[in-house]
Amino acid sequence: MRLLIIGTLNGQIGAASQIAMKRGASVQQVDSEYAALETLRAGKGADLIMADVSLDVEKLINGLANERIVVPVVACGVGNDTQAAVRAIRAGAREYLPLPPDAELIAAVLQAVAEESQAIIYKDPRMGEVMRVADQVAPSEASILVTGPSGTGKELMARHIHNRSKRRDGPFVAVNCAAIPENLLESELFGHEKGSFTGAIARRIGKFEEADGGTILLDEISEMDPRLQAKLLRAIQEREIDRVGGKKPVYVNVRIVATSNRNMEEEVAKGSFREDLFFRLNVMNLKLPALRERPADIPELAAHFITKYAEINDVKKRSLSKAAKLKLQNHQWAGNVRELENTMHRAILLAEGSEIDTDDIILTASVSGAMNGVEGGGDIELAQLVGRTVAEVERELIIDTLLHCLGNRTHAANILGISIRTLRNKLKIYGDQGFQVPLPGETSP
CB 5 within 8 A of CB 50: yes
Task: Give dist(CA 87, CA 263) in Å, integer.
Answer: 45
CB 281 within 8 A of CB 152: no
Query: Each residue of 252-309: pLDDT tens digit?
Result: 999 999 999 999 999 999 999 999 999 999 999 999 999 999 999 999 999 999 988 8
**69-83, 275-289, 352-366: which is most confident:** 275-289
CB 74 within 8 A of CB 51: yes
Q: What is the DSSP string of 380-402?
A: --HHHHTTS-HHHHHHHHHHHHH
Q: 85 — phi, psi (to 5°)?
A: -65, -45
Query: Each residue of 371-401: pLDDT tens digit?
Result: 333 333 344 444 556 667 778 888 888 888 8
What secondary structure, in 3-state letters, does 91-123 show? HCCCEEEEECCCHHHHHHHHHHHHCCCCCCCCC
DSSP state of 261: S
What pLDDT is recorded for position 112?
A: 65
Task: Give dist(CA 147, CA 1) in Å, integer.
Answer: 27
Task: Give dist(CA 235, CA 253) in Å, integer.
Answer: 10
Could you tell me which residue, 350 or 15, shows the higher pLDDT? 350
How long a stretch of residues is the chain?
445
Report all structural domains of the chain as residue ranges with CATH numbers, in order of start: 2-114 (3.40.50.2300), 125-289 (3.40.50.300), 294-432 (1.10.8.60)
Task: Give dist(CA 310, CA 315) in Å, integer.
Answer: 5
C-alpha 157, offset from chain centre = 12
**Beta bridge mates, 218:** 175, 258
Task: Give dist(CA 188, CA 263) in Å, integer.
Answer: 25
| Integer-rounded Cα radius of gyration of the chain | 23
The rounded mean pLDDT for the chain is 84
What pLDDT is recorded for position 386?
A: 61
What pLDDT is recorded for position 218?
A: 97
Task: Give dist(CA 243, CA 283) in Å, integer.
Answer: 27
**pTM of the complete model beyond 0.85:** no
Task: Give dist(CA 288, CA 131) in Å, integer.
Answer: 9
**Beta bridge mates, 216:** 173, 256
Query: Each residue of 178-221: pLDDT tens digit?
Result: 888 888 899 999 999 988 888 778 888 899 999 999 999 999 99
What pLDDT is recorded for position 175?
A: 92
